[in-house]
Structure 1
Amino acid sequence: MAGTVHKGRLFWLGVLALFTAAASLAIRGAIASGLKGEWIDPIAPLHAGELVAAALGAAFLSFSITLFVASALLDQLGMKRCLIGAGLCFIAGPLLIVTAGHVASGMGIYTLVWLGMLLSGIGWGLTEATINPLTAQLYPEDTTHRLNVLHAWFPGGIIVGGLTGFFFSDALPWQGIMALVMIPAAATVLIAATTAFPPPLREQSGVSFGEMLSEVFRRPSFFIWFGAMFLTAASELAPGQWIDVALSNRVGMRGILLLVYVNALMFIFRHFAGRLANRISNPGLLWVSSLLAAIGLFMLSQAQSPVTAILASTVWGLGVCVMWPTMLASVAERYPRGGSWAMGLVGSAGALASFFVLPQLGAMYDAAKVEFAGGPEAFAALTGAAKLAVEDAAASLSFQRLAILPLILLAVFGFVWLRERGKSRAALAGEAA
């Protein structure tokens, strides 16, 4: 492999593909308010929040399904084809979104927007299905650190995408901002098409396709990690997509700036998380992360000003920043014969979480705002400050309920951490004897 494959080029291709996926995610969140105001509010004013959240969630549905399928068939599909396909989806998806209002009317606009989000999610799924096992294959002795460094560029893409959405909002319509994703997408296609990839992972490891698929089923402990990934992603990704819609008016600053700030923390901290995990173990790091995430989400529900919002975002950001890559590394290290399939399964669980949780957030927000207003007719009659007050109260409630998820993770990771520490101590005692 060393003579034909350039590790550095492959690693940075993975960085570019993940950066594109993240920038697309951030820009979708940044333009959500403009999309809602221009196209969705006129169609369904009482359910606009739920519809927008469902459209944003469509990307997570296709991400999950694509990751599930492509991870199992990665060796058959080929890493090169998957990354080229990812780039093409990041071009086609935004095209559908930005042209929807010009080629359709009524709910047809929403349908095209939803399909555009779905295509963007397919690109994201192909990206994750490829770059995670590729990184583990290239750096088998340093998987946790390398995956954290790789995934540092996910918040890097969020930062660039979020700032693009903020600073270009006066110069470009939201459709123009969304279209900017096509630039790194085209670069991903070009570089992937001209890069040599290593042989299939199963060809190197000697693990058959059947053995890879059966690995996760013959070891039931895998499903603890599968369930935990559902909750960790819901604690990280769903609030990130919802924060601009729900908190901008409440705290007196654009929520997308809070998201950019949080991802700056992630970008920095993920470069050191692998070293920290070596000190306290992956489950220990995830337990601490869950505690901070729960506290941070509750603080976000109470934030009323830019200062309190930034403080709450700091706590939440430090909590969720290492969850995704550390979960992937934990699975790669504990279930090595599962290969790309095991990593893809937990990744798909994370994506499914956002697909289910985002519409629930939107529905919860819509129901609360109508209830606080005194009914549908009363809400429809609200304007100005009165309407904002009702929406702010509804946003607070949605974040309070979301904070329950990382509290569940405290019990899960606490159990795994104590169990593995007990095994380590028993092994050391046996060696001493």
Structure 2
Amino acid sequence: MNSPDSTAVSPRPTRLFVACIIALVAMSFGFVVRAFLLTEWRVTFNLSESQLGSIQGAGLFPQALTIILFSLIIDRVGYGRTIAFAFVAHLVSAIVTITATDFHGLYWGTFIFALAGGAIEAAVNPITATLYSHSKTHHLNILHAGWPGGLVIGGLLAIALGTAGGENSWRWKVALYLIPVAIYGAMMLGQKFPVQERVAAGVSYTDMLKEFGWAGCLIVSMFMAYAVDEILRVFGWRLPNAAMLVVALGPTVLFAWRIRSFGRPMFVFLLLVMILLATTEIGTDSWIADLMTPVLKELGSNAGNWVLIYTSAIMFALRFCAGPIVHRISPLGLLAVCALIASAGLFWLANAGAAPLIVFAAATCYGLGKTFFWPTTLGVVSEQFPKGGALTLSAVAGVGMISVGVLGNPLLGTLQDKSLDQRLASQYPVIHRKVAEAPQTKYGLSFQPLDKTKIAILPAAEISQVETIRITNNQATLGKVAVLPAVMFFCYCGLMVYFRARGGYRPVQMETAQTG
């Protein structure tokens, strides 16, 4: 893996672009296997919903840390060294996770995997935006087809492995992501990487930071503080409120003093919308297999997994079609339509019952809605803020990852624990007293997690009653998430009105950015 050369375009852009896609496939392999193993890990390691949420969060927020940190230095250290770091971290993650014997092993293996994913995302997005500077949204959508493509392939392989390996079958499934890791590592060898378009255009590092601004720094730093707190929770500690303020405000004050720029208001707005977007797409995908498995139990133990594979297949196929669509209705129009469809799909899933045809029809609606969210948002940021270079492009992805990692996923898990606690206590108080653990408080919500080992030794009739409550609770959770894309719809409509008042949506060319 080589450092960037002195040319603006890679001499072998197709091979480099394909290698970037496969790197995203490796990321999604790990993601889908982890999503599929939640139910098994819950039983094997007696994990609460909150602990599962913490593991899912650890698979996301560390990724944001490396996305943002590498975006600040990637033009100096080079894409090659960044991807080499990711490759090594992927190998270490596999070793830690496969040898895990408790919650902490699973947590740290997932944490390291996310660090690798952040380095990958910090590199592949600006590489693609530079290679295809005149069709950014289209090619970023193709790049990110690697994510659902990996979900489909990895998911099918995990299902095919089944129980092979006996009680260690889950360890073999974790090792699956080493296949695409080896492929992208081999394809990246000997590559010449392009110079990022900001650098090639002579835009200074300070001007890049001004696009990001102290407002962007504040948003990122706030989530960084929550990330530190989330890590400390694993050891039973908490970050005091005063310390969280220091972590959030310290970098922001320093940034404001040195750079003296609020940042581009629209960019700051998109950062906030990205919090909702990431929870809608990645947060839901993290949980949907686990949530839908008991709902579709009549179709077998892997039924919930098929919902994730099915919606991912829809995404994979449609992301190749983004170019013609954005030429017709603009990227913001596409995002608005997708938000409306995703909200309807999630609400439908929440009320679909257990009829397989109805569930998969609702999943089709959700899959259509979430398809273009992530890459089209990256395309908008790259087209509107080219002076921001790798930083603005990576920051919006980083905020998405860190927000769903430290807030979205753990909060969804906590909401499930809280709601399950209330439903069981209300409908079957005697059973609740038998299986409830000591009270906990998280995100201001007090609840008693249910002990899986105690549930397992209940009489069959009582186990059935608990499962009935769990099924109802799982689907209701998706209904709560449906509110988020509904809010996003109005946000995108507001941006469309803004651009219409300015003559319509048009990508900003770097020459305009330098002189304007």
- The normalised TM-score by structure 1 is 0.92
Q: How far 1:365 moved relative to its partner? A: 1.0
Q: Write the mapping of 1:151-190 to structure 2, written as runs, cut at 5 A.
A: 151-172=144-165, 173-190=169-186
* Aligned counterparts of 1:182 and 1:269: Cα–Cα separation in 2: 27
- The normalised TM-score by structure 2 is 0.77
Query: What do the CA deviations read for 1:5-30 (whole angstroms, capped 9, x no partner)?
Result: 21111101101101111111111111
Structure 1 counterpart SS, 2:100: helix
Contact 1:366–1:394 (Cα < 8 Å) also in 2? no
Give the one of 285, 299, 307 matched to 1:240.
285
Q: How far 1:187 moved relative to its partner? A: 2.5
* 1:203 has 2:199 as partner: yes
Alignment partner, residue 32 of structure 1: 38
* 1:409 has 2:488 as partner: yes
Q: How far 1:200 moved relative to its partner? A: 4.7
Give the one of 133, 141, 144 matched to 1:140.
133
Q: How far 1:177 moved relative to its partner? A: 0.6
Contact 2:9–2:194 (Cα < 8 Å) also in 1? no
Alignment partner, residue 261 of structure 1: 310
Give the one of 420, 436, 443 matched to 1:369.
420
Alignment partner, residue 248 of structure 2: none
**Comparing 378-387 with 362-371, which one deviates more in the overlay?**
378-387
Alignment partner, residue 327 of structure 1: 377
Query: What do the CA deviations read for 1:396-427 (whole angstroms, capped 9, x no partner)?
Result: 22111111111111110010012212321699
Give the one of 143, 147, 150 matched to 2:143.
150
Cα distance change, pair 3–171 in 1 and its aligned pair in 2 (3 A): same
Give the one of 308, 314, 338 matched to 2:388.
338
Q: How far 1:190 moved relative to its partner? A: 2.8
Q: Write the mapping of 1:5-404 to structure 2, written as runs, cut at 5 A.
A: 5-39=11-45, 41=46, 44=47, 48-101=48-101, 109-172=102-165, 173-217=169-213, 218-252=263-297, 253=299, 254-303=303-352, 304-355=354-405, 356-374=407-425, 376-379=432-435, 380=454, 383-404=462-483
Structure 2 counterpart SS, 1:250: coil
Q: In structure 1, what residue type is equivalent to 2:415?
A: M
Question: Which residues of structure 1 form unaligned runs of 5+?
Answer: 102-108, 428-433
**Comparing 147-156 with 76-85, which one deviates more in the overlay?**
76-85
Give the one of 415, 419, 422 matched to 2:498.
419
Q: In structure 2, what residue type is equivalent to 1:371?
A: Q
Alignment partner, residue 104 of structure 1: none
* Aligned counterparts of 1:371 and 1:183: Cα–Cα separation in 2: 44
* Aligned counterparts of 1:246 and 1:34: Cα–Cα separation in 2: 13
Q: How far 1:340 moved relative to its partner? A: 0.6
Contact 1:27–1:164 (Cα < 8 Å) also in 2? no
What fraction of aligned residue pairs are identical, expressed as a percent? 28
Structure 2 counterpart SS, 1:284: helix
Contact 1:72–1:344 (Cα < 8 Å) also in 2? no
Q: How far 1:4 moved relative to its partner? A: 6.2
Contact 2:130–2:195 (Cα < 8 Å) also in 1? no
Query: What do the CA deviations read for 1:83-102 (whole angstroms, capped 9, x no partner)?
Result: 1221222221122111011x
* Aligned counterparts of 1:146 and 1:84: Cα–Cα separation in 2: 24
* Aligned counterparts of 1:399 and 1:50: Cα–Cα separation in 2: 17
Cα distance change, pair 15–398 in 1 and its aligned pair in 2 (3 A): same
CA RMSD of aligned residues (A): 1.8
Q: In structure 2, what residue type is equivalent to 1:82?
A: T
Contact 1:75–1:202 (Cα < 8 Å) also in 2? no
Q: How far 1:130 moved relative to its partner? A: 0.5
* Aligned counterparts of 1:57 and 1:247: Cα–Cα separation in 2: 20
Q: In structure 1, what residue type is equivalent to 2:267?
A: F
* Aligned counterparts of 2:133 and 2:313: Cα–Cα separation in 1: 28
Q: In structure 1, what residue type is equivalent to 2:395?
A: L
Contact 2:8–2:195 (Cα < 8 Å) also in 1? no
Contact 1:84–1:193 (Cα < 8 Å) also in 2? no
More helix per residue: 1
Question: Which residues of structure 2 form unaligned runs of 5+?
Answer: 1-6, 214-262, 436-453, 507-516
**Comparing 71-80 with 259-268, which one deviates more in the overlay?**
71-80
Contact 2:67–2:122 (Cα < 8 Å) also in 1? yes
Q: How far 1:2 moved relative to its partner? A: 7.9
Q: In structure 2, what residue type is equivalent to 1:385?
A: S
Structure 2 counterpart SS, 1:196: coil
Runs of 4+ in structure 1 off by over 6 angstroms are: none
* Aligned counterparts of 1:36 and 1:169: Cα–Cα separation in 2: 17
